[in-house]
A and B are shown apart, each in its own frame.
Chain A
Amino acid sequence: MAIEVQIPTILRTYTGGEKTVTADGGTLADLVADLDAKFPGLKDRVVDDAGLRRFVNVYLNDEDVRFLDGLATPLSDGDSVTILPAVAGG
């Protein structure tokens, strides 16, 4: 199973500068664990004990996972996951 993950500029120090990486996982939590195995330290920047960090947004195929099942959101082959810092609009 291959899931494409878009990494924001601010976290590319962990991925050797790569903007898009591939990882596996049946759920978002599994995917984050797999990312951390490949790129140690990445997990702590994305999640904390309470779940997704406050200023991190994660989108599954453009939908905010907080409105799906959060870290328990199931993933399928070919899904696209985007990680972005929360920024202001208006």
Chain B
Amino acid sequence: MRYPDLLASVGHTPLVGLPRLSPTADVRLWAKLEDRNPTGSVKDRAALAMIERAEADGTLAPGATILEPTSGNTGISLAMVARQRGYHVICVMPENTSFERTQLLRMWGAEIVYSPAQGGSNEAVRVAKDLASRNPDWVMLYQYGNPANPQTHYDTTGPEILADLPEITHFVAGLGTTGTLMGVGRFLREHKPEVQIVAAEPRYGELVYGLRNLDEGFVPELYDESVLTSRYSVGPHDALMRTRQLLHEEGIFAGISTGAILHAALGLADRAAGSGQVADICFIVCDGGWKYLSTGAYEGSLEEAEQAISGQLWA
């Protein structure tokens, strides 16, 4: 495929079958390889869409500074786009993220403000909102509430999946900003009303849930529960086990959040196979495993790996 520049190549990712992990000939798993985007994650789609919308409505002027709370991938994607479009990026990122995320952000020219590990991304959001209020000329695109995030999945990811897999019965993705699930979910429901839209939510170590009170909890403004059929919480043991299974059985080297998504997808596959249904289950490979190598996720026993990522924001 030929594109005029790198940004034009965002999206158009392959959908690959998983013949070894699919339980029967009638229940098939399909992986949407979002790690094939320019910075290696699904977030390139939302970052590009949010910047283009802000350019179109005049929010972003040449030379502007973009501020964003992010656990890493969205920041990396924003930095990649910003570098080409001439913006400066400041990311507020929790300190308990992998070393590679810091390296990649700096590589693409972003500045990093670390937020405390305790409280995870909630703290990053709080710190970013505080910085935004004190620096009114900075532009916070705010992935958790920016309609361009789900819209790009409605406009691109959803149609790509339906074109490649018209027989789709289930769509499974990670729940973070909720942009992928909201956008793809709405698109698929309009065309396949019976499709199941399933969220896999990472369950981190206790540190991340260490809020001072429950009112500090956070639900993204984009989240609309009615789009989803069900929502599963997946802990680090299951996520790591599936990440390794995907690598060993199908050769796909994915990040840890993809393992959590695969765990939910395999649960649906087993249920469909057990009740004799025909199912085509598509799930998102959010990113590759490269930026998690230093966490120890791929080495030693599962227990050692689980220990190694405890306290980390691994999704």
Contacts and interface: CB of A to CB of B under 8 A. Distances in A.
Interface of A: 8-10, 45, 53-57, 59, 62-64, 66-67, 82, 84-90
B211 A89 contact: no
A67 B229 CA distance: 7
28 contacts: A10-B212, A10-B214, A45-B214, A55-B218, A55-B219, A57-B233, A62-B233, A63-B232, A63-B233, A64-B230, A64-B231, A66-B231, A84-B203, A85-B209, A85-B211, A87-B208, A87-B209, A88-B121, A88-B124, A88-B176, A88-B220, A89-B174, A89-B177, A90-B70, A90-B71, A90-B73, A90-B74, A90-B179
A84 B232 contact: no
B233 A84 contact: yes
Nearest to A55: B217
A6 B312 CA distance: 20
B201 interface: yes
**From A54, A59, A89, residue with most partner B Cβ within 10 Å:** A89
B200 to A, nearest CB: 10
B201 A89 contact: yes
Contacts of A82: 203, 233
Contacts, number: 99
Interface in B188-232: 199, 201-204, 206, 208-220, 225, 228-232
Given A9-B209, A9-B210, A67 B121 contact: no
A75 to B, nearest CB: 17
A89 B209 contact: no
Contacts of B289: none
Interface residues of B, number: 47
A6 B73 CA distance: 30
B215 A55 contact: yes
Contacts of B206: 8-9
Given A9-B206, A54-B217, A55-B215, A87 B228 contact: no
B231 A87 contact: no
Contact of A90 (B119, B176, B204): B176
Contacts of A62: 232-235
Nearest to B179: A90
Nearest to A66: B225
A87 B225 contact: no
B175 interface: yes
Given A53-B214, A90-B121, A64 B208 contact: no
A57 B201 CA distance: 11
A71 to B, nearest CB: 15
Contacts of B218: 55, 86-88
